[in-house]
Amino acid sequence: MSDNSITRREFFNKSGKITAIASAAAIAGPAINALGANDLVRVGVIGPGQRGKYLMKMLFEAARREELEVPIQYAAVADIFEGWREEAAQQAAMSNDALGHETEVKQYDHHKKLLEDKNVDAVIIATPEHQHAFQLVDALQAGKDAYCEKPMVQNIQQGKMVLDAFKNSDRVVQVGTQRRSVPLFYNARDMVKSGALGDVTYCEGWWNRNFRADQVGHAWRYEIPESASPDTINWDEFHYQAKHYDFDKERYFQWRCYFDYSNGIGSDLMVHQIDAICLVMNVGVPKTLVSSGGIYRWNDDRTTPDTWSCVMEYPEEKFQINYHARFSNICRPNEGTAMRWQAEHMEDEDAKNDILDALDVLQEYKMLEDKVEDYGVKMCGVLGQIQIFTHHLMHVWPEPTWLFPDNSLEYQQFKFGRSVADAVDLAVRTHLTNWIECVASRKTPNCTVQNGFDGAVISNMGTVSYLTGKRVEWDEKNMQIKDA
C-alpha cells in the first residue's frame, strides 16, 4: 500500500513528475509578482460573517506560514450588520499587526463605499448567495479583483449578468469551489483521461450531515448574535431582488433555509462535489437533470429541503452523475468494530484471542479508526473506480481479477493534508493563495468565472426541477433552463 501525503508547497514546487499528482501545469503555478517585489495586495472583505471571517483567517494563515509568494494586507471591511463589521475589523487589524503591516482597517456599512476606496486592490465576497452577482459586478466595474464565495450566482439571469461584466473587464476572479485547488482531483482527471479506469459511465457525489436538535448551528440554523436588531442591521439592503419581508433575524442569519436567498443543498453542498466531478470528467453543464427530496426531518419554517437527490445526464460523453445528501445520518463505519464482533462470536478460543490481539495492535497504530466518508465523490469505470473522501483521502480500486485477469490497474492510496480537518483548511488556503498569486501575475485562477457559472447553473437546474416536479434540460444555445 502506498500512502502519499501531498502538501501545497510540494505540489507547486516539485518539477517534473509529481508523485501521484497531476503536473503543476494543471493548476496555475506560482506567480511572478507583477506588482513589484515590495508591493502588497490590499484586500477588502465584503460580508465578513462566519464564512467571511474564516476566509480572512485562512488567508492570514497562508501569509503567516509563508505559503504566499505575494504579501497581503487587510485594508477594509464592509457589512450591513454592525456586529460582523466590528468583529472583522478587529480580526483584520490583528492579522495586519502579526504580519508587520499597518493595523488601521477601514469600516464601511455598504459594499459600494468599500469599492470606492482607492487603497483596496482586491475583494473577498462572502455575503449571502442572492447578493453575490450584484456585488461581483460592482467590484468588476470598480476595477477590483475578486474572490467570490460559491455559488457565484443564485440563478441564470444573474449568471449572464456576471459573464457580461467579466468579459468587459480585465479583472482576476476566483470562485470559491476550492476543490479546484486540491491536487487529488487533477490526479483523478489524468487517470480518467489516460483510460486507466476504462470507460467511465457513472459518477457519484454525496454530502451527509446529522445533528442533535439542541445543537448550535444544526441544519443551517446558525447562532444569532445577541446584538442583532433593526438598529444594527440594514434590513432593507439585505433583500436585493428577493421578496421583502418584515425584519426577521432567522431569515438574515439562517438564509440557507429559504429559497428566497439560496438554492439550499444544491448551492451550499452539491456545487462542491459536482464541480469536482466536472473537473475530473472535463465537462460543464449536463444535458438534463431531475431532482427530488423534501423536508423530512427539520420541520420548521424552512423552504429548502433537508433530503435531496439529483440525477444528471451527459449523453454525448456517455455517463451519468448521481448526487444525494441528507441532514439525518452520517454513518462512520469502523471495520475494527465489525471484525471484533465477529471474533468475539467465534467458538475457537485460541483463534479468537489471536484475532483480538491483532486488532488491539491495529487500533493502537490507528489502522482501524472510524471512516470519515461524510462527503466525497466516485468515478466508476469498467476497469476500476476512484473514490475521494473529504478531499483528504483518495482510493483507486481495480475491478476483480477474476473478472478482468489482464487488468493492469492496481490499488493505490493518496492523501492531501495530514487529516480531514487539516485538508479542509489546506484546500481553502491553497485556493486563496492561488487567487492572490494570480492577482499579482494576471494569470487565470483555478476556478474561473465560467466554472462558477456552470456550477451555479447545475445548482439552479436542481432547484427548478425540485420546485416544478419535472425533469429539466439545459438549452446551451439560448442559455436557459427548459422542460426536458
pTM: 0.92
Predicted confidence (pLDDT) per residue in 204-251, tens digit = 999 999 999 999 999 999 999 999 999 999 999 999 999 999 999 999
pLDDT at position 39, please? 82
Predicted confidence (pLDDT) per residue in 36-90, tens digit = 445 899 999 999 999 999 999 999 999 999 999 999 999 999 999 999 999 999 9
Q: Are 309 and 296 in contact (CB under 8 A)?
A: no
DSSP bridge pairs for 387: 378, 395
Q: How far apart are CA 20 and CA 2, in angstroms?
A: 10
Sheet holding 72-78, edge to edge: 106-108, 72-78, 41-46, 122-125, 145-148, 173-175
Q: How far apart are CA 340 and CA 276, in angstroms?
A: 36
Q: What are the cell numbers at 135?
A: 456585488
Q: How far apart are CA 293 and CA 323, in angstroms?
A: 12
Length of the chain: 484
Q: Are 431 and 146 in contact (CB under 8 A)?
A: no
- Residue 34, pLDDT > 80, answer no
Beta-carbon contacts of 172 under 8 Å, excluding residues fewer than 6 positions away, are 122, 145, 146, 435, 438, 439, 442, 443, 444, 445
- Residue 115, pLDDT > 80, answer yes
Q: What is the mean pLDDT of the chain?
A: 92
Q: What is the average per-residue pLDDT within 297-322?
A: 98
Q: Are 172 and 435 in contact (CB under 8 A)?
A: yes
Burial class (CB in 10 A: 0-12, 13-18, 19+), 332: exposed
pLDDT at position 5, please? 55
Q: Which of 222, 218, 236, 262 minimizes the C-alpha distance to 127?
A: 262
Task: Print burial letters for 179-196: b (CB count within 10 Å at least 16), e (below 16).
Answer: bbbbbbbbbbbebbeeeb
Q: How far apart are CA 259 and CA 329, in angstroms?
A: 23
Q: What is the DSSP string of 185-206?
A: HHHHHHHHHHTTT-SEEEEEEE
- SS3 of 68, please? coil
H helices present in 195-257, as ranges: 235-238, 249-253
Domains and their CATH numbers in the chain = 28-180 (3.40.50.720), 181-330+370-419+455-483 (3.30.360.10), 338-364 (no CATH)
